[in-house]
Structure 1
Amino acid sequence: MASDQRGKAETLALRRQFIGSSCRLFFPGDPVKIIRGQGQYLYDEQGAEYLDCINNVAHVGHCHPLVVQAAHEQNQVLNTNSRYLHDHIVDYARKLSETLPEPLCVFYFLNSGSEANDLALRLARQYTGHQDVVVLDHAYHGHLSSLIDISPYKFRNLDGQKEWVHVAPLPDTYRGLYREDHPNPTEAYASDVERVINSARERGRKMAALFVESLPSVGGQIIPPKGYFPRVAEHIRRAGGVFVADEIQVGFGRVGEHFWAFQLQGEDFVPDIVTMGKPIGNGHPLACVATTQAVARAFEATGVEYFNTFGGSPVSCAVGLAVLEVLEKEQLQAHAAHVGSTLMGLLEQQKGKHPIIGDVRGAGLFIGVDLIKDEATRKPATEEANYLVSRMKENYILLSTDGPGQNILKFKPPMCFSFEDAHQVVAVLDAVLTEMEAILRSCATLRAKPQPALQESCL
């Protein structure tokens, strides 16, 4: 039976039979079966249309015709590994270089963001001759063993922290150590990184790299205070290490104001290594590491060849070029700035209306809405966030949560997300929050004076 003719229940049963249970679905209580996508929309087996607010992989839109055409046409001619001379890989590298600061001029192509960060770790260690890595708390850099080790989001639930990994506080000015009322959160958070480095060095450890997501996503859609990157880069470089900017979630114009999120920290700031994935190929398995000549030369000095079977293939590079073409032709970076500003403004209005919204933060089409139990403690409203996401899905809007408390609504839609979409999402969000507040009032009444008829309506 063709998959689009199979009922959702049968598909779910087959998945449970053959797919590892750790490969989790969105909306596990009532998963959505998606069989088609177009632009910012996804369609289920019944033809219902869902507005996708979270898919930053389909960067320029699901099944964008130019990207699909580029892959199809190149697939008909040649798809082989990158050890043959071919124009696409050099054209693509040159085009990417035009988006980056001049020192970042050497490229390695791979298949996934995890592979990119793994290679960045190798490059850093070879260049510095050191082993140790500094990361931010709650960071996630990939699913390879080497990256689980530098991802507190993962290793805290597994084997724990390795002796060569050093964790600095997440620069969260809403619920972190230094908040919006601090006179200089940039310097305070940067000084914490310096202390972590100095403490490690006192124990004889030597720094290879500081890995930072340019905008921490799993950590809760965090916007680091401006100037933080240049300051922590000074500290890691003084210790003999390099600065790695992980752009896998947020690169390629998503932040609107700039093409790369690290540029929000100041146009003069240049990382030593930048990693890319997810949006780079609009769903095609493509990733990249960009670095300096000095770092690349040190890597080459080992005499060990770097080879990636599928990285930089003619089809992958054709897709990458097409994504860049669409971004430019449809002016999606500017679009992200304008639509994102509108969405942020509408969400700020909701913050004034609904006390559960503690904070709205973001840049371009990377936005987080922090849901709280109460304003004084800022306790994460985890259950309420899960309920809200479920109700939004019932209204054909796909959202998800992130953050240590799983209470941050995250908005990372395809870049073609429109002004109309922004208004639609916020209108539904307002209605669901209003409904939810009524339920919470009923629950408060139930706790004060038990009424069995209300029991099932409580969150």
Structure 2
Amino acid sequence: MPEKSEVSYRQTLQMRKSFVGKSCRLHFEVSPLKIVRASRQYLYDDTGQEYLDCINNASHVGHCHPHVVSVGQEQMSKLTCSYGFLNDQTAMYAKHLISTLPESLCVCFFVSSGSEGNDLALRLAASYTKKHDVICLDEAYHGNLGNLVEISPITYKRLGLKHQLKEWVHVAPTPKTFRGKFGADEPNSGQLYANEVLKLIQKAKQNGREIGAFISESIISAGGIVVPPENYFTHVYRYIRENGGVCIADEVQSGLGRCGENYWGFQVHNVVPDIVTIGKPIGNGYPLSAVVTTKDIADSLSIFSSTFGGNPLACAIGRAVLEVIENEKLLSSAKNVGKCLKDGFNEIRPKHPMIGDVRGVGMMVGIELVMDRENQKPATETAEILAYRMKEKKIIVGIEGPDKNVIVLLPPLCFTIDNARFVVQTFSEVLASIESEAASVGLMNNKEAVWGHAESVPMDVITGQHSINVSNLSDMDEDNDHDTVTKRARYEEVD
């Protein structure tokens, strides 16, 4: 049933175009969805259509979870901001959050976004080590602030910018075993990739510079849900610490149980970082972020303040999120449902020549699409078509990776096994149709293709025979807003 709205879809779209910056991208920017409400793992648009949300990891325990909502409403009616004063909610939340972490990580700083958290982490590292140089990964994304863009190479790579690295930034190869420098067939790929970091440390020393910090996500999300190989972080953390640096784990995407079994992604690798940054999921969509570190590192910072960081409302919501995770056993659910997703995609993989790799941990799953498994050419346009076709089937998926060819699933943790089966089945049907169309125009071997029965796919997008300027399409007259020619999905990084 259509939702009542103050303004029409077209009016909303026009106001967005007129008053919001063009660089603020929308998913499916040519024909974006107007979402008016959400519940658990479902989104509802202005026409009443229900969509299965496979990408909104910010709504960690589910959209508008009743416990989180009621706690937030109650606290908002009492006190929202109390900067500079004692407050029970802030103190109790800090204690509860720290209880989920290793013993050495025992001091919290609260801010309002993942970018703020990573910015503070760099500041803490520099204040403690007295060194400002940072090692990051070449497919990393750590935020929107100026210094974070400098350590987010994937941002300027995707834009095709000739970016001059700052002297204090040192970039290591992303430790991936599919289409990476070292493959899965290498017996010690973790050690080999870690040695690349060691080389950077040594090169920096030769140039009279000292590494103060190494920063990485535990599971590299913007790179396409890359799970670093065994022992990678063990070796890297040792190299960094032996040379006087500290290790920062960016848990904005992978934290708070998303990886299943444990609360934190770094626990998958059996390491303990010196600084942890936490964002999106801890507020279930409400602006809340935290940096947790050791007492020595925390004490090295002489002063820090944040007007909204750690406010009573945010912390009350943060406590409610932790309570839901525990009461609904969402860590176990993330493990089991995530396994169902990953196993399902591995099951259909032999039937689909375009599925190059299936990877992930818990409720972080990536499916890398290629035009050919032998040459592993990224199927970028195929991924965009597939995302749009999944949208038509009322399923919202994401696209990541440096070549934008990895379909990613990071749904709310209330996602069910039935949801997982539905996604895998629909994905298989849609991809079969795309593969059959690719074979029909000679982009794939006919013998390899799985001939599906889905409706026709605009193959000119894949072949590039009729190139279409997406930026021009997005500026078309309102009468063309619903034009179905070559809808393209956009999933840009945000805090």
TM-score between the two structures when normalised by the length of structure 2:
0.88
| Alignment check: 8 A CA contact 2:111 2:288 kept | yes
- 1:451 corresponds in structure 2 to none
Query: Is 1:307–2:305 an aligned residue pair?
Result: yes
- Three-state SS of the structure 1 residue aligned to 2:292 is strand
Query: How far is 1:150 from its partner?
Result: 1.2
1:114-133 matched pairs, under 5 angstroms? 114-133=115-134
Query: Displacement, 1:80?
Result: 1.4
Contact 1:155 1:161 survives alignment (8 Å): no
Unaligned runs of 5+ in 2: 447-455, 463-495
3-state DSSP class of the match of 1:101?
coil
Tell me the equivalent position of 1:194: 198
Output one character per residue of 1:88-118: Cα deviation in whole Å (capped at 9) or x when no partner.
1111111111110000000000000000000
Aligned to 2:181: 177
Q: Deviations over 1:41-86 (max 9, x none)?
A: 0000000000000110000000101111111100101111341111
Paired residue secondary structure (1:438): helix
1:33 matched residue in structure 2: 34
Shift of the 193–445 alpha-carbon distance from structure 1 to 2, 3 Å rule, reads: closer
Matched, 1:81 2:82: yes
Aligned to 1:337: 335
Q: Deviations over 1:5-58 (max 9, x none)?
A: 422222111100000000000011211110000000000000000000011000
Q: Select the residue among 237, 245, 248 that pairs with 2:249.
A: 245
Shift of 1:455: 10
Q: How many angstroms does 1:435 deviate by?
A: 1.3
Whether 1:292 aligns to 2:290 is: no
Alpha-carbon distance in structure 2 between the residues aligned to 1:51 and 1:75? 30
Matches within 5 A, 1:140-219: 140-156=141-157, 157=161, 159-219=163-223
- What secondary structure sits across from 2:74 in the alignment? helix
For residues 391-427 of structure 1, give each alpha carbon's deviation from its aligned partner in whole angstroms, at most 9, with x where no partner exists: 0001100011100110000010000000110111111
Instruction: Give 2:413's aligned residue.
Output: 415
| Distance (whole Å) between structure 2 residues aligned to residue 175 and residue 456 of structure 1 | 27
Structure 2 Cα separation of the partners of residues 246 and 446 of structure 1:
39
* Paired residue type of 2:338: G
Q: Note if contact 2:114-2:279 (Cα within 8 Å) is conserved in structure 1.
A: yes
Runs of 5+ unmatched residues, structure 1: 449-453
CA contact (8 A) 2:55 2:397 kept: yes
2:348 is matched with 350
- SS of 1:299's partner is coil
1:151, CA displacement in angstroms? 1.0
Alignment partner of 1:428 out of 422, 426, 433: 426
Alpha-carbon deviation of 1:218? 0.6
Amino acid at match of 1:11: T
TM-score, normalised on structure 1? 0.95
The aligned residue for residue 231 of structure 2 is: 227
Does the Cα contact within 8 Å between 1:82 and 1:314 map onto a contact in 2?
Answer: no
SS in 2 for 1:30: coil
What is aligned with 2:24? Answer: 23
Inter-partner Cα distance in structure 1 for 2:41 and 2:408? 16
What is aligned with 2:401? 403
SS for the counterpart of 1:424 is helix
Q: Distance in 1 between matches of 2:457 and 2:150?
A: 44
Contact conserved, 2:438 with 2:444, CA < 8 A, in 1? no
Which of 300, 318, 321 is the aligned partner of 1:320? 318
Question: In structure 2, what is the Cα distance between the partners aligned to 1:230 and 1:82?
Answer: 39
Contact 1:81-1:311 within 8 A present in 2 as well: no
TM-superposition CA deviations, 1:251-309 (whole Å, max 9, x none): 0000003110000111xx21000000000100000000000011011113xxxx31100
**Structure 1 residue aligned with 2:101:** 100
1:393 aligned onto 2:391: yes
Q: Distance in 2 between matches of 1:8 and 1:238?
A: 58
SS in structure 1 opposite 2:140?
coil
Contact 2:433 2:457 in 1 (8 A): no
Q: Are the structure 2 counterparts of residues 320 and 446 from structure 1 closer, same or farther at C-alpha, using a change threshold of 3 Å?
A: closer
Q: How many residues align?
A: 447
Letter in 1 for 2:213: A
1:134-163 Cα offsets, whole Å, 9 max, x none, are 001110100001111111112443743101
Residues 343-385 of structure 1, C-alpha deviations (whole Å, 9 max, x = no match): 1111011101111001100110000001011111111100111
**Which of structure 1's runs of 4+ aligned residues deviate more than 3 A?**
445-448, 454-459
RMSD of Structure 2 on Structure 1 (CA): 1.8
- Would the aligned equivalents of 1:446 and 1:455 in 2 still touch at CA under 8 Å? no
